[in-house]
């Protein structure tokens, strides 16, 4: 029951439109690159200073001077450009990047996101997450609907330290696709085999259900 990580990525890939500049976070968001439909041309931004991120290199093309924000070796593509970290976040804050896809630990019904710190655990840092969520025009979150103990991660208010306020527009979880509206989480689609009741039970924040909810098509 529910979508696996690759299926979540595949569903999010449908939100990526021709001509977009897109920043993909670490984890499920990175997988989205594998499912961008044929004929859709996008430019991937890596916030350490690259536009036009290509696939992983073949063994003979590995270059220590060419990595992505996850510190993985990558390649450039025809038309790529390279710049400093200041320039990179300038284009993020300046809203030149069209779409940001990132993971989350919690999202609130107002669109607040928490994804950088768990009290009592070693704090690794926010990296570029706070800059991205504060400025992106359009942010889609990829996440699990509930924690391992079954508790909801789609909440009235975030309980973990906030990364950014009122910034999330759309969420794709293992159970559902939801839009964050002024009135709460609006249910758009449900995963195959998942009922509206299942989603209701797994959502602590206000869930808005209008009419028949179609199944996710992937």
Partner 1 sequence: MINKTVKNAQEALQGVQDSMTLMLGGFGLCGIPENSIQELLRLGVKDLTCISNNAGVDDFGIGLLLQKRQVRKMISSYVGENAEFERQLLSGELEVELIPQGTLAERIRAGGAGIPAFFTPAGYGTEVGEGKESREFNGKRYLMEEWLKADFSFVKAWKGDTAGNLIFKGTARNFNPMMAAAGKITVAEVEELVPAGELDPNMIHTPGIYVQRIFQGEKYEKRIEQRTVRTA
Instruction: List residues with catalytic annotation.
Output: 47
Cα–Cα nearest to 145, from 69, 198, 209: 198
User: Judged by CB under 8 A, which of 20, 77, 162, 218 binds partner 1?
Assistant: 162
User: Judged by CB under 8 A, which of 7, 23, 46, 100 binds partner 1?
Assistant: 46
Contact between 128 and partner 1 by CB under 8 A: the answer reads yes
List the structure tokens of 46: 């890596």
Q: CB count, 10 Å around CB of 218?
A: 17
Closest contact distance (angstroms) between CB of 137 and partner 1 is 12
Helix (H) or strand (E) holding 31: helix 28-32
Q: Which is nearer to partner 1, 167 or 207 (CB)?
A: 167
DSSP strand pairing (106-108 vs 21-24): unpaired
User: Judged by CB under 8 A, which of 20, 127, 179, 198 binds partner 1?
Assistant: 127
Contact between 218 and partner 1 by CB under 8 A: the answer reads no
* Interface positions, 51-110, toward partner 1 (CB under 8 A): 55-59, 62-74, 82-86, 88-90, 92-93
Q: Which is nearer to partner 1, 17 or 93 (CB)?
A: 93
Q: Is the dihedral of CA 48, 29, 92, 55 positive or negative?
A: positive
DSSP strand pairing (76-82 vs 50-53): antiparallel
Q: Of 3-11, 13-21, 44-52, 171-179, which part binds partner 1 (CB under 8 A)?
A: 44-52
Q: Which is nearer to partner 1, 29 or 49 (CB)?
A: 49
Residues near partner 1 (CB under 8 A), total: 51
List the structure tokens of 81: 């450009």
Virtual CA dihedral for 66, 67, 68, 70, nearest 10 degrees?
Answer: 180
List the structure tokens of 190: 């449900």
Q: Of 125-133, 169-177, 180-188, 208-216, which part binds partner 1 (CB under 8 A)?
A: 125-133
Closest contact distance (angstroms) between CB of 108 and partner 1 is 12
Q: How far is the C-alpha of 153 from the C-alpha of 144, rounded, in Å?
A: 8
Contact between 119 and partner 1 by CB under 8 A: the answer reads no
Where are any strands of DSSP class E within 115-172? 139-142, 154-155, 170-172
List the structure tokens of 24: 């993909």
Give the footprint of partner 1 on this chain (CB under 8 A): 46-50, 55-59, 62-74, 82-86, 88-90, 92-93, 112, 122-131, 134-135, 161-165
């Amino acid at each position: 029951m529910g979508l696996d990580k690759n299926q979540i990525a595949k569903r999010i890939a449908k939100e990526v439109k021709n001509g977009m500049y897109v920043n993909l976070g670490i984890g499920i968001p990175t997988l989205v690159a594998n499912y961008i439909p044929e004929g859709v041309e996008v430019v991937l931004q890596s916030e350490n200073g690259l536009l036009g991120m290509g696939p992983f290199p073949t063994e003979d093309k590995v270059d220590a001077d060419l990595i992505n924000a996850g510190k993985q070796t990558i390649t450039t593509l025809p038309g790529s450009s390279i710049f400093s970290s200041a320039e990179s976040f300038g284009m993020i804050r300046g809203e030149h990047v069209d779409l940001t896809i990132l993971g989350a630990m919690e999202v609130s019904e107002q669109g607040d996101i928490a994804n950088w710190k768990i009290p009592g655990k070693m704090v690794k840092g926010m990296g570029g997450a706070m800059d991205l969520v504060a400025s992106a025009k359009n942010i889609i979150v990829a996440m699990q609907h509930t924690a391992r103990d079954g508790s909801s991660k789609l909440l009235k208010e975030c309980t973990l330290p906030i990364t950014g306020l009122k910034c999330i527009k759309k969420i794709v979880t293992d159970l559902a696709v939801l839009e964050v509206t002024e009135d709460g989480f609006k249910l758009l689609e449900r995963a195959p085999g998942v009922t509206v009741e299942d989603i209701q039970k797994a959502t602590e924040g206000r869930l808005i259900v209008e009419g028949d909810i179609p199944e996710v098509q992937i």
